[in-house]
DNA sequence: CCTTCGATTCGTCACCATAG
DNA sequence: CTATGGTGACGAATCGAAGG
């Protein structure tokens, strides 16, 4: 399955700016979504392998490889879920920030208008 | 009832960054 | 160096609405 990323390294400006977690909300006053997963206990059914030193036959090696792959897939599945959850949360944060700023902007515009009214010379 | 179609969700792969 | 975790991209499955 050769799905090479021809666009690799080509993060859009949006993506870069949105960068979650470690970069957090650039503007600070948002509860950054830097939440760690609650105690990374292994998901159900994960059993640690016998120590690698004890594997010999090709059969055992194959089983070990399969086991490793399944473990990796399971972990990645969980990681993807968590990643998506965090991303959703982050987007929510951004949306509420937008809402906040819109309100704030509206207030400022109104204030500006009243100040203009006050300051402008009466022309009648 | 279908059928179609856009949106959403999920699992997987490839890649990158980081830790050890 | 290898192992591991995070995440963008992709394809498949599923859902819900709209139209016939």
Query: Mean pLDDT over residues A71-76, rounded?
Result: 96
Residue nearest to nucleotide C3 (CA to C1'): A72
Alpha-helical regions (H) of A7-57: 13-18
Q: Is the CB of A21 under 7 A from strand C?
A: yes
Give per-residue burial for A8-31: e unless 16+ CB within 10 Å, then b. Answer: eeeeeeeeeebebeeeebeeeeee
Say what the pTM is: 0.65
Residue A102 pLDDT exceeds 90: yes
Listed as ranges, the nucleotides of chain C within 7 A of a protein C-beta are 5-10
Q: Is the CB of A97 under 7 A from strand C?
A: no
- How far apart are alpha carbons A121 and A42 in whole angstroms? 73
Q: How far is the CA of A33 from the C1' of B8 (A)?
A: 22
pLDDT digits (tens, 9 = 90+) for A32-71: 333 333 333 333 334 444 444 455 688 888 888 888 999 9
A58, two tokens: 């090709």
End-to-end CA, chain A = 79
């Amino acid at each position: 399955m050769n799905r090479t990323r021809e666009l690799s390294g080509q993060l859009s400006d949006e993506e870069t700016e949105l960068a979650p977690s470690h970069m957090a909300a650039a503007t600070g006053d948002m509860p950054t979504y830097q939440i760690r997963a609650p105690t990374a206990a292994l998901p159900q059914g994960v059993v640690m392998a016998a120590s690698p030193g004890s594997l010999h036959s090709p059969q055992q090696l194959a089983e070990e490889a399969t086991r490793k792959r399944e473990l990796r897939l399971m972990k990645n599945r969980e990681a993807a879920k968590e990643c998506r959850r965090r991303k959703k949360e982050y987007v929510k944060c951004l949306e509420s920030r937008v809402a906040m700023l819109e309100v704030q902007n509206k207030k400022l515009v109104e204030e500006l208008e009243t100040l203009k009214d006050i300051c402008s010379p009466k022309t009648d």
